[in-house]
Amino acid sequence: MVKIGNIELGNFPLLLAPMEDVSDPPFRAVCKENGADLMYTEFVSSEGLIRDAAKSVQKLDIFEYERPVGIQLFGSDIETMGSCAEIASRVNPDLIDINYGCPVKNVACRGAGAALLQDVPKMVKMTEAVVKSTHLPVTVKTRLGWDENTKNVQEVAERLQDIGIKALSVHGRTRVQMYKGSADWTLISKIKDNPRITIPIFGNGDVDTPEKALEYKNRFGVDGIMIGRATIGNPWIFNEIKHFLKTGEKLPAPTLEQRVEVCRRHLEFSIRWKGPVAGVFEMRRHYTNYFKGLEHFKPFRMRLVEGMSFEELDQILTEIVHDYSAALC
């Protein structure tokens, strides 16, 4: 049984990675319904939260059906991060996660995210401040290092465990790599093999099929897998992986009806969370992903993007089930 503090996650948990503009409550809801064991919010800016910025505060929204769920924080100031951990704890998540892995320029070049991999002593002090500011388990997500010459994640794992983090997720790329090339899980495996390490170690990067999940589980010995980009438009990947790990057999690909139903559920959650206008607007980025690979789908996609209400969109989704195959003829 893998545990983060007192949170039980099963024998080989599958985690939804925190992704900006993706892992909001509606997306987390459909991932939970399709087998995710632990999920995280989009990353929350500590500076924004201190200023009570609406966008940062809204990212603290969590719901009972999501549990267990963690709030992920990022920032460059130690004191501010400690204060934000205290604020985030008040909404009663199951854990607090710290982002030391985001590679994008407007985060890393401001001294946050993956930038902390260049200053491990500051990372340690920041993590300690967060641990001391909350009664909740604290976890960390990071990368192998800043670049090929500074792959320091093994040192990071030991030092952060020593000051009290309860789990570590590692993306198998450096900051310089961004999301290019292949993820290298070799150092992740070495962390797991380190006899000093007793906390759960989760691997992240390039797992996009059940076969690869099984291969990485056996080859690298991690306690679980965190999945990010492969979940977009594909939340059923969690159940597909679980079924394959249990039986060695692949589930059939989702039918058109299943794609439509999950898309409809996502839309319902989006409207419930954001309201009838913003909820419809926020869903527009997802339609291409849910129906990726379908030939000659563009006319339906355009209608979905142009839809203005749940009733209209619900009708279009119903028409897709009944009319898409006929449209191919």
- Chain segment 153-208, per-residue pLDDT in tens: 999 999 999 999 999 999 999 999 888 989 999 999 999 999 999 999 999 999 99
Active site residues: 102
Q: What is the reported pTM? A: 0.94
- For residues 245 and 240, give the distance between their C-alpha atoms in angstroms, rounded to a whole number: 9
- For residues 289 and 233, give the distance between their C-alpha atoms in angstroms, rounded to a whole number: 4
CATH superfamily of 3-247: Aldolase class I (3.20.20.70)
pLDDT at 16: 98
- For residues 203 and 15, give the distance between their C-alpha atoms in angstroms, rounded to a whole number: 10
Indicate if the pLDDT at residue 123 is higher than 70: yes
pLDDT, tens digit, 9 for 90 and up, residues 216-245:
999 999 999 999 999 999 999 999 999 999
CATH number for the segment(s) 256-328: 1.10.1200
**256-328 shares the fold of 3-247:** no
* Mean pLDDT across 147-155: 93
Give the DSSP letter of residue 41: P
Closest CA to 128 of 138, 115, 119, 136: 138
**Chain CA centroid to CA 75, Å:** 18
Q: Given pLDDT bands bounded at 50, 70 and 90, which one contains residue 307?
A: very high
The pair phi, psi for residue 287, each rounded to 5°, is -65, -40
Q: Is there a cis peptide before residue 103, judged by omega within 30 degrees of 0?
A: no
Domain boundary assignment for the chain: 3-247, 256-328
What's the one-letter identity of residue 185?
Answer: W
Specify the length of the chain in residues: 329
Residue predicted with more confidence, 295 or 246: 246
Output the CA torsion sign for 259, 264, 269, 274. positive
What is the DSSP track for 182-238?
A: ----HHHHHHHH-TT--S-EEEESS--SHHHHHHHHHHH--SEEEE-GGGTT-TTHH
Cα separations (Å) of 295 from 96, 207, 327? 42, 26, 10
pLDDT at 328: 52
Contact 204, 226 (CB under 8 A): yes
Q: How many CB atoms lie within 10 A of CB 121?
A: 9
**Chain CA centroid to CA 126, Å:** 22
Output the CA torsion sign for 27, 1, 133, 119. negative
What's the one-letter identity of residue 167?
Answer: A
65: helix, strand or coil: helix
Contact 156, 120 (CB under 8 A): yes
